[in-house]
Structure 1
């Protein structure tokens, strides 16, 4: 029998003797740090705003409205919301049919279910026909402690290889809000990773604005260049501040659109002499942003002094509390800063 997506693994409710009991679900744990500013359900509220302007927008989900923030849209527009049940293939096929009839479907599920269970339906029913369907998926990379069944560590590799599909990996609440509007205006299928719930607000202070297909240099620095996407842009910015204490200047180039890649911005930033390039991503080291950037640099003849990757290992990851897992797998701010310092010392 297929296990419910809502069922909590028993071992997460049984901490070791003396260990503090987790106070948040591993499924919906926030990635926000203590005291960090957040905004609730940025995708859901942005979609409601869009739907007030566009009568063609509909929302569909596979039994996960609450866990993808689509419940905000469902409450505001119940007549334009479709609950498809635990049937991801049917979800994608129905969205394709609605797009053919002139609607603009926003489809939500977990990234693992879209990438693994519904891949062929997305490919044949949506991407091959270049239909105007927006697939917005929660729990990207290591943003849940539920283990390999729910950790989408390979979704970028899977969807980067699909023709006609635009791939977006937003950083924070502002990025998600603006990206939702941008992908609605874009004619064609889109896969967007989603941070849900109380999402950190980080980019407001950098004068940032999301542009589909464009990277943004958020800060400059002479010693190291972080090229990052998704939540790892938050971590890169935090790591850059930590590195300042050691008089290490770190630049951060945020790449929210994985496909098509902003090749010009990446090449310009990476070509600056004397600066190590570190690609940081919340994804397997195989097939994601790191390999996309490495391939671009090689094809273009741009050779920085050193090229390194901060990414998740090519392995099935552990279950547990997110802060612990982020430290274990080297994607916390402290771990990112430590890796950069060790690589710079090693030359």
Structure 2
């Protein structure tokens, strides 16, 4: 395992999202972007300049955004519907269900600035429920990239998948942690660290922090396996079952609501196939006011919080 260095550079993955989308658009005229007056926050200024006829701005009307995207998909286009994650998934959930998932439209929903990336703007602007909501929609693929490389791979995969897909596009800056030879496909986790005592399963902004937690635990003689599961749906159930059998306890970490998110998905697999202790690190309630960094620390969404959960799963809490 190579722990994340404290001085490692960090990246805003929205830039990689926009660059990859533009590259795809140059090669495929079916690629279009649809947004809700969010050209700047979706990092689509360059896309608009290069493809002015292929960026559709519906204004602050997320339900229309989804409906227009479904119509474009039905006409043979590949629409990337981009909007702030809380508004895309919250305001337009009925349209996502009926216009996209139920009719199996190839629309890529791009939830920008998910989790608590909007910080002090408060729970109205936080997207901590989005994974839970999208998991409740049958047939929806859910991808939560951990860094720039996985963000680019998510965009490429979604463009050719032919399936309804929701991608969380991180705003909170993260280090690059994905190995060059790492797989990226549905139902496939990436093992970033070996371990026999406990498994840390993380997504998105929590992956680098899970690696830091594993380094903390190693100093105490605790060997922690680290799994990055970019696909929450479909989840790598084989990797989860193997981790339960081989390490005996699991910890999940996500910048999202505990109810219905990654932890719930993992717990279901474990309960059905190999029951072991599971501890979940996530957001339990509406957040107080504060910066993103403050809020992550407030809910224990950091290396110390993940390590504490691992000790609890192992029964080693003082």
Q: TM-score, normalised by structure 2?
A: 0.92
**Structure 2 equivalent of residue 46 of structure 1:** 20
For the pair 1:316 / 2:286, whether they are aligned, the reply is yes
Change in Cα spacing, 1:322 to 1:109, as seen in structure 2 (3 Å) is same
Query: Aligned to 1:176, which of 130, 133, 151?
Result: 151
Structure 2 unaligned runs (5+)? Answer: none
Deviation string, structure 1 residues 219-269 (Cα, Å, up to 9, x no partner): 111221011111111210121122222222111111111111221121122
Take 1:270 and 1:69, find their aligned partners in 2: how far apart are those partners? 40
Deviations 1:31-60 (A, max 9, x none): x97552436611000111111111100001
Mapped to 2, the partners of 1:113 and 1:324 lie a distance apart of 23
Aligned match of 2:302:
332
Counterpart position of 1:147: 122
Q: In 1, are the aligned partners of 2:280 and 2:309 still within 8 Å (CA)?
A: no
1:256 to 2:230 alignment:
yes
- 1:71 is displaced (CA, Å) by 2.5
* CA gap 1:239/1:120 in 2 versus in 1, 3 angstroms: same
CA RMSD of aligned residues (A): 2.0
CA shift, 1:338, in A, is 3.3
Change (3 A) 1:104 1:228: same
Number of residue pairs the alignment of both structures matches: 311
The offset of 1:309, in angstroms, is 0.8
Q: Deviations over 1:259-290 (max 9, x none)?
A: 112211211222115x3211111111101111
Using a 3 Å threshold, how does the CA distance of structure 1 residues 321 and 251 change in structure 2: closer, same or farther?
same
Of residues 316-325 and 153-162 in structure 1, the stretch that sits farther from structure 2 once superposed is 316-325
Please list, as runs of the form range in 1=range in 2, the aligned pairs for 1:61-72 lying within 5 A after superposition: 61-72=35-46
Residue in structure 2 matched with residue 346 of structure 1 by the alignment: 317
Q: Mapping of 1:230-245 within 5 angstroms?
A: 230-245=204-219
Distance change (3 Å), C-alpha of 1:72 and 1:340: farther
TM-score (norm 1): 0.85
Counterpart in the other structure of 2:103: 129
SS at match of 2:213: helix
Q: Could you tell me which residue of structure 1 aligns to residue 141 of structure 2? A: 166
Change (3 A) 1:198 1:299: closer
Query: 2:266 is matched with which residue?
Result: 293
Contact 1:279–1:310 (Cα < 8 Å) also in 2: yes
Any conservation in 2 of the 1:239–1:334 contact (CA below 8 Å)? yes
